[in-house]
Structure 1
């Protein structure tokens, strides 16, 4: 797939803006849902959907950046940015995996009104309630929250670092600090 040009314009700057918004937004949603299981249930499949779209957008951004790198003048700033770009993909993969895991943990946790009364329907029901108890246990919830926080912060920091290096590569030495044109 050619992700280099979109309507005659390099696709990379367009994808970058989407990733710069969606990675932090997905990271925030992940942490909120890891902290409040009810938020994960309310968001439903939107949470893992955000993770999947974020991952796809990061891959598109990286691919379009590699395409663009071959078509711009070489510089140490462009090279530094190009080397950092692929470093976001593992963070995006981790975000996606964790959005799925936190969503599933929110779904298997105990729900009001269920699991009460009624007879045991055999070994399958017992195994399901054991999984639900384990998923809703404090150690599992704390572990999920800590891992979510680490990945969320890591992904956002990486987006910032890559974006900063890209902005320096694109703009350093290419603008004036004083106004130009009419009204000057």
Structure 2
């Protein structure tokens, strides 16, 4: 995918990543730390994580196409390097979302949902919660860093701090 309605696909697809990765991270942490949220989210959690995961390589490939169609620039190269690092975070979000969903389904299907059953799984829930929080924070920080570098690459010489006098209120 290179162009969408005449615009570079990367410019449009990046918005999917910027929205879905943090949304997936938030949903994952919430579901991992609060079993009631995991039950309410159900299959939506891994489904959103899967869409997030698929959107990353699509956006990266569109970005590589765009990189070949703009002037060579150190800021663009830095953005590209950072962008290549997001896929492992997206994989981590998806895997953990699937684990949290599966564990939530399994717990709901087990008879005797009393205190004993819940407390027996507490160390596993804590480990999954901590791991989910770490991956979620890593993914969101990476999205921020990539977005910041992309904005710098796109806009570093494209505007005037003083104004051009051609707009409103000049």
TM value normalised by structure 1: 0.84
Give the equivalent residue in structure 2 for 1:79. 77
- Superposed displacement of residue 98, structure 1: 0.6
Give the equivalent residue in structure 1 for 2:31. 33
Alpha-carbon distance between aligned partners in 2 of 1:136 and 1:28, rounded to the nearest angstrom: 26
CA contact (8 A) 1:105 1:135 kept: no
CA contact (8 A) 1:19 1:54 kept: yes
Output aligned runs, 1:1-184, within 5 Å: 3-110=1-108, 115-116=111-112, 133=117, 137-179=121-163, 180-181=165-166, 182-184=168-170
- Superposed displacement of residue 104, structure 1: 0.8
- Superposed displacement of residue 136, structure 1: 5.9
Name the SS for the 2:84 alignment partner: helix
Q: Please identify, of 6-15 and 26-35, the stretch whose mean Cα deviation from structure 2 is larger.
A: 6-15
135 and 44 in structure 1: CA distance in 2 versus 1, 3 angstrom threshold: farther
Alpha-carbon distance between aligned partners in 2 of 1:145 and 1:105, rounded to the nearest angstrom: 12
- Superposed displacement of residue 174, structure 1: 1.2
Deviations 1:14-49 (A, max 9, x none): 111111111000000000000111111111110000
TM value normalised by structure 2: 0.91
Give the root-mean-square deviation of aligned CA atoms: 1.8
CA contact (8 A) 1:105 1:136 kept: no
Tell me how many residue pairs correspond in the alignment: 165
Deviations 1:84-137 (A, max 9, x none): 1110000001101111001111111156xx625xxxxxxxxxxxx9xxx59961
Q: Structure 1 unaligned segments of length 5 or more: list them.
A: 117-128
